Amino acid sequence: MGNRFGNLQGSGGGSKSSAEAYKKRRKSEHGFYKLAFVENYAKITERDIELRLEYAKDAVGRFMGVPKQMVTFRKKSTKQTTVSLDEILYVKVGVDTVGKISIRVLRAFSYSNMDIIFQVKRLQDRSDTKYSLSRRTQGRSKSYIRAQTKKRRKKSKMTR
């Protein structure tokens, strides 16, 4: 006897409500990330480098419209070389993971630069919406769609 209707416990189908699954995806760090903003700081001091997480919290709080006290970080990775420091952190507001932030510090001889790069978390991949939104392209390959688009463009140039 198989799980024909997806209602057996632990089988994946019907074991969780869609609201619970949505909450789990919002809290999870897995997902799709889209670039939100980049902030550059030039000629910063060592004190500014020590306060880099505070600068990041302030920037994310301004972007998200929440107080910076609600923004927390969880470290993903750190890479340090003789001239640079790269940190990648997950950004949480409350219990929800809202994005990922990358802090890059570049040390030169007489000065240092810092870049803060924030990416917003998306629950769905929307990078391919050009091909997924049109009804006449459903079930077609991308190469077929591109060829049809080229034909339409040539046709519209001829009629002008």
Domain boundaries, the chain: 28-122, 129-159
**Burial 14-24, CB ≥16 within 10 A → b, else e:** eeeeeeeeeee
Of 112, 7, 114, 124, the closest CA to residue 55 belongs to 114
**What confidence tens digit (pLDDT) does each residue in 22-44 have?**
777 777 778 888 899 999 999 99
pTM of the model: 0.66
User: How big is the chain by its Cα radius of gyration, in Å?
Assistant: 23
Q: How far is CA 83 from CA 53, 104, 114, 136, in A?
A: 19, 11, 12, 53
Residue with token string 């077609």: 140
What's the mean pLDDT in 60-78? 92
The predicted structure's pLDDT at residue 149: 80
Per-range mean pLDDT, top range of 13-17, 70-74, 135-139: 70-74
Domain 28-122 listed as CATH 3.30.310: yes
The bridge status of strand 96-107 relative to strand 112-122 is antiparallel
CA of residue 4 relative to chain centroid, distance: 36
What's the mean pLDDT in 47-63? 93
